[in-house]
Amino acid sequence: MVTWLLACAVQAPESTPAGEPQMSAVDALVRTSLDLRGVRPSVEEVAAVEADPSLGADGALAALVDTFLDDPRYEGRVRDLWAEIYLTRAPSIYVNAATFGLADEAGFEVSTGEEVLAILGHVAANDLPWTEIVTGDWTMADEITASIWPIERPEGEGWMVSHYTDGRPAAGVLATNSLWWRYGSTDSNANRKRANTASRVLLCNDYLVRPLEFDRNINLLDEEAVADAINNNPSCTNCHASLDPLASYFFGFWWYDPSNALEIVKYFPEREARWSAYTGKAPAYYGEPGYNLRDLGQQIAGDHRFPTCAVEQAWALLLRRDVSVSDTDALVTHRDAFINGGLTMKALMRSIAMDPRYLAGATDTEGYVPRKMVTPDLLATSIEGLTGYTWTYGAYDLLRTDNVGYRTLAGGADGYAVTATSTSPNATLVLVQERLAEAAAWYVVETEPTRLYTVDFTETPETDRAAMVAQLQGLHRAVFGRTVAADGEEVEAGLALWSDLYAVGHDGREAWAGVLAVLLRDPDFLFY
């Protein structure tokens, strides 16, 4: 983590850092469009940036960034990004749909894991201050969660602002079933896992990565010896002095029988004082006493590490790499933009999207382009944006789940066996991309051809070469945001591929589907 106290006086660079040339305006457009709304830019947007290739604050790209942040898809993009931090898109460790008499296991799994992310997305899309995620007196609920949890929800479809009715404190994500179904606790752990989760996702302070010199003389099978070490051994108190009082805030979510559907849905205010029997440490936030989760939410919201953590998370998620000391100057600038923008995520995202490091690249084919690989959810939304195709099985989104789908095979994280998204391809990712490309290409040709095609599938290179060439140019522009010459090698290769495919089946639709599938499998579609 960057040490902010040492970085306050550092100024952000006014130009691209030395050794990192800026990417072209069109490449920058593709990157920001994918990162902020999950789809590739339209041909009209590409044309606008080609006409005004400035990457400055007054250029066409900056204006388009503002429209991306107001796009309805931005909310879902925030959900997908922070899903990598919260890791709640995973089956509950306690219960399943059958526990509540529901037949829709897929819908149950999706809904119960999405509540926290829906809160983050709503806060981001509606320009609410980021502190709302730990102080809000509301939650987000859909039809499934409202039917099984004590929630009052307005009529309507999809995720809506709702309120718990069981007396739980106003503490945003800290008071959600979704988060604590995902991160449970055993008796001996006494909510310490939950405390570390809150610290990790909200303060970027993960106790599990702290250096530890453990005393090997402690008998871990002796419960009294362990308890004594936690309170008195310097190797243990280094963490437990602050972790245990933090854990004591979460006993309202202390469930004696986690398999009991009637118990696990509720928050129990009367159990908040059970810390006395488990940690023996009164609730406190790094020495500042409190009582319940409302106090904790307010304490976190007032901690300087909270906005700092949000900035670091956004930076790492958008640049697809860990934060380093060399980023300090840029992070200070973005933190200022975040705070001056009322702690709104749009202010932060806008600031990062115009940062020279984010736009680092090259403007010619000889240059080095530090490209990023699409995540499984970004692969899904970019394909859907182009073709209208969604890869689902029942209610399962196959690139956002693992029990039925292919998330980890496509480089994603399930939160259990895999906790970090891959940044480089492997064999299973290539196979997933191949199958998805084939399915999407067939779908658009058969159901919505006008999304991408101007030909009527009867043309051949012999009967109407001009229409075939124009179609190939259009596909390259739509899929890659790239203008290719009518006599360029891309067009010649496309015509040759189409002819080979047509020779096999003598079906124009089949041949065009094959051409599109190959383009969607291109590394230039996987990296941006």
Q: 3-class DSSP state for residue 527?
A: strand
Angle 44-48-52 (CA atoms, 0-180°, nearest 5)? Answer: 165
Residues 6+ apart with CB under 8 A from 246: 195, 198, 199, 283, 284, 285, 296
Q: Residue 487 corresponds to which tokens in the numbers above?
A: 């006599």
Statement to judge: residues 406 and 258 lie in one domain: no
Does residue 102 form part of some domain? Answer: no
| Cβ neighbour number for residue 75 with a 10 Å cutoff | 19
Does residue 347 form part of some domain? Answer: no
Does residue 464 form part of some domain? Answer: yes
The mean of the pLDDT values for the chain is: 90
Q: What is the spatial distance between Cα 125 and Cα 317, in angstroms, rounded to a whole number?
A: 17
Q: What is the spatial distance between Cα 190 and Cα 281, in angstroms, rounded to a whole number?
A: 11
CB of 170 within 8 A of CB of 135? yes
Statement to judge: residues 262 and 151 lie in one domain: yes
What pLDDT, in 10s, does the model give residues 362-405? 655 455 557 899 999 999 999 999 999 999 988 789 999 988 89
Does residue 274 form part of some domain? Answer: yes
Biggest CA pair distance of the chain: 87
Q: Residue 10 corresponds to which tokens in the numbers above?
A: 């550092």
Residue whose structure tokens are 């012999």: 462
Q: What is the pLDDT of residue 114?
A: 96
pLDDT band at residue 20 using 50, 70 and 90 as cut-offs: low
Q: What is the spatial distance between Cα 385 and Cα 389, in angstroms, rounded to a whole number?
A: 8
What pLDDT, in 10s, does the model give residues 42-64? 999 999 999 999 988 889 999 99
Q: Residue 51 corresponds to which tokens in the numbers above?
A: 């006409």
pLDDT band at residue 15 using 50, 70 and 90 as cut-offs: very low
- CA 12 vs CA 16, 332, 334: distances in Å: 10, 7, 9
Query: What residues make up the domain containing 286?
Result: 108-118+135-292
Cα end-to-end distance, the chain, whole Å: 27
What pLDDT, in 10s, does the model give residues 189-229? 999 999 999 999 999 999 888 666 666 666 556 566 556 55
| Residue where a domain stops, chosen among 254, 272, 292 | 292
239 pLDDT exceeds 90? no
Q: What is the spatial distance between Cα 385 and Cα 364, in angstroms, rounded to a whole number?
A: 28
CB of 144 within 8 A of CB of 105? no
409 burial via Cβ count (<10 Å: 0-12, 13-18, 19+): middle
- CA 8 vs CA 2, 11, 300, 353, 468: distances in Å: 11, 8, 21, 22, 58
Q: 3-class DSSP state for residue 414?
A: coil
What pLDDT, in 10s, does the model give residues 287-308? 999 999 999 999 999 999 999 9
CB of 4 within 8 A of CB of 349? no
Q: Residue 154 corresponds to which tokens in the numbers above?
A: 């307005």
| Residue where a domain stops, chosen among 227, 261, 292 | 292
pLDDT band at residue 3 using 50, 70 and 90 as cut-offs: very low
Domain count of the chain?
2
User: What sign does the dihedral 446-447-449-452 (CA atoms) show?
Assistant: negative
Q: Residue 453 corresponds to which tokens in the numbers above?
A: 């095609």
User: What sign does the dihedral 324-325-329-331 (CA atoms) show?
Assistant: positive
- CA 43 vs CA 25, 167, 201, 477, 518: distances in Å: 14, 51, 38, 6, 20
Statement to judge: residues 147 and 240 lie in one domain: yes
Statement to judge: residues 265 and 139 lie in one domain: yes
Does residue 124 form part of some domain? Answer: no
pLDDT band at residue 233 using 50, 70 and 90 as cut-offs: low
Q: Residue 423 corresponds to which tokens in the numbers above?
A: 């940044």
Q: What is the spatial distance between Cα 307 and Cα 236, in angstroms, rounded to a whole number?
A: 29
Q: What is the spatial distance between Cα 146 and Cα 159, in angstroms, rounded to a whole number?
A: 10
| Residue where a domain stops, chosen among 232, 267, 292 | 292
Over range 300-326, report the average pLDDT.
Answer: 96
Does residue 193 form part of some domain? Answer: yes
Q: What is the spatial distance between Cα 478 and Cα 456, in angstroms, rounded to a whole number?
A: 18
pTM: 0.90
Does residue 50 form part of some domain? Answer: no
What pLDDT, in 10s, does the model give residues 149-191? 999 999 999 999 999 999 999 999 999 999 999 999 998 899 9
Single-letter code of the amino acid located at 260 = N
Q: What is the spatial distance between Cα 138 and Cα 159, in angstroms, rounded to a whole number?
A: 12
Q: What is the spatial distance between Cα 513 and Cα 497, in angstroms, rounded to a whole number?
A: 11
Does residue 181 form part of some domain? Answer: yes
Statement to judge: residues 180 and 280 lie in one domain: yes
Statement to judge: residues 270 and 386 lie in one domain: no
